[in-house]
Amino acid sequence: MHVRYSYLPQQFSQIDDLMAQLREFVVTGDFTLGKPLVEFERRFADLIGVRHAIGVGSGTDAIKLPLKALGVGHGDEVITAANTFIATVGAIAELGAVPVFVDCDDTFCMDVSQVEAKITPRTKAIVPVHFTGYMTQMEPLMEIAFRRGLPVVEDACQAILADIGGKRAGTWAEAGSFSLHPLKNLNVWGDGGVVTTNDDGMAARLRLLRNHGMRNRDEIEVLGYNSRLDALQAVVGNWLIGSTHQITDQRIENAEYFDRALGQIKQIRIPPRVSGMKKVYHIYIVFAEDRDGLYKHCQSRGIECKIHYPVPLYLQDGLKIYGHKAGDFPVTDRHTREIISFPCDQHLSRDEQDYVIATVAEYYG
Ligand SMILES: *Cc1c(COP(=O)(O)O)cnc(C)c1O
């Protein structure tokens, strides 16, 4: 059996109605900040439960623009997670700011108890990353942020509809950042992102910043960026957004099925499934003994398993300027040796899941 990682061909196989909508849209010429975008932003805000959603060019920009709006700039420090995807760090670095890493724990999110020790007079913001669809412990983090007077931007790119005690990712802080990249749970046909906020002033600044800082066609209020979510992508987003709960629920059901079966295998350790937290399994990860052997075995049996990630960000060539060395973030390091990801998406079949489970069991004999 072949178990693919990417489900995009399946996801977009039946789209006659979407093609008809795109055809209708294209003849309006309403490409930039058009009506479908306005509709998508309203529906996204309603989905998350916030006052404002602002469509931007990518998930990276959905982190960068609120940081810019908060005044983060050259030489400032921004605290974030050591095990994140490069986009988080890229957004910080684009502003000339310096990422200050905090190690993660076995939920793949930053260990909040280590945050305060990283705060210096140059710290300007904190960007927790709700990595894999778990959430960072936001209650203690927001307490620290409030006490130290630091704004927070949640990197919720992997965590749409995740929550703690019913309070969703993207609603806890000054702003929340989402990605609509094809590989994300709610996706479009290219790059796109959304910033959520309950702050009217922040929303207004973001609307300026994403559109060259233009107050109107003749007046520039601030220096901004060209970072709008295309109205064309918003048509795709509007077609899909109604399915977000269904997509999420199916991923959770698949993850629970894997947990029950893989949890029976002695050499597999299921990460702590923190209660009171809704995890949305953008990535389904378990810890495995002899991970490299299991990885090779699964690949040889046609299963596209992955490692998120084999080389931690802080040791990558492109980040040498920050001067980190191996061992600086021991939990992140340990994860690079122990973690393995299996497909867990809404299009995965029970047969495919059973094949993955049987293949893992077969490896450990
Ligand atoms: C996808 C992602 C982003 C944003 O990536 P884009 O490709 O710019 O949309 C940011 N942070 C994390 C953790 C991500 O997974």
Q: What is the pLDDT of residues 22-62, one digit of tens each?
A: 999 999 999 999 999 999 999 999 999 999 999 999 999 99
The answer to whether the CB of 91 falls within 8 A of the CB of 121 is no
Instruction: Report strand pairing: 163-164 vs 167-168.
Output: antiparallel
58 lines ligand 1 (CB under 6 A): yes
Contacts of 300 by beta carbon, 8 Å cutoff, 6+ apart: none
Both tokens of 353, joined, read 């899941």
* Ligand 1 geometric centre to CA of 255 (Å): 22
**Atom 2, ligand 1: residue with shortest CA distance:** 157
Average pLDDT over residues 127-155: 98
Helix axes 350-364, 291-300, angle to 10 degrees: 130
pTM of the model: 0.98
157 lines ligand 1 (CB under 6 A): yes
Best residue among 61, 64, 89, 158 to mutate for probing ligand 1's pocket (most ligand atoms within 8 Å of CB) is 158
Residue with tokens 């893989």: 262
Q: How confident is the model at residue 350, as a pLDDT?
A: 98
**Atom 6, ligand 1: residue with shortest CA distance:** 59
Average pLDDT over residues 241-249: 98
Q: How confident is the model at residue 95, as a pLDDT?
A: 98
| pLDDT band at residue 319 using 50, 70 and 90 as cut-offs | very high
Average pLDDT over residues 169-196: 98
Total number of residues shown for the chain: 365
Q: How confident is the model at residue 344, as a pLDDT?
A: 98
In this predicted model, what pLDDT tens digit does every residue of 80-102 receive, in sequence order? 999 999 999 999 999 999 999 99
In this predicted model, what pLDDT tens digit does every residue of 256-290 receive, in sequence order? 999 999 999 999 999 999 999 999 999 999 999 99
Q: How confident is the model at residue 147, as a pLDDT?
A: 98
| pLDDT band at residue 314 using 50, 70 and 90 as cut-offs | very high
Ligand 1 atom, smallest distance to 129 CA? 13
* Ligand 1 geometric centre to CA of 165 (Å): 25
Best residue among 56, 60, 63, 108 to mutate for probing ligand 1's pocket (most ligand atoms within 8 Å of CB) is 60
All domains in the chain, ordered by first residue: 13-241 (3.40.640.10), 244-363 (3.90.1150.10)
For the chain, the helix, strand and coil percentages under 3-state DSSP, each to the nearest 5 = 40, 20, 40
* Ligand 1 geometric centre to CA of 72 (Å): 19
88 lines ligand 1 (CB under 6 A): yes
Best residue among 92, 181, 230 to mutate for probing ligand 1's pocket (most ligand atoms within 8 Å of CB) is 181
DSSP H or E stretch at residue 286 = strand 284-288
Mean residue pLDDT of the chain comes to 98
| pLDDT band at residue 233 using 50, 70 and 90 as cut-offs | very high
Q: How confident is the model at residue 120, as a pLDDT?
A: 98
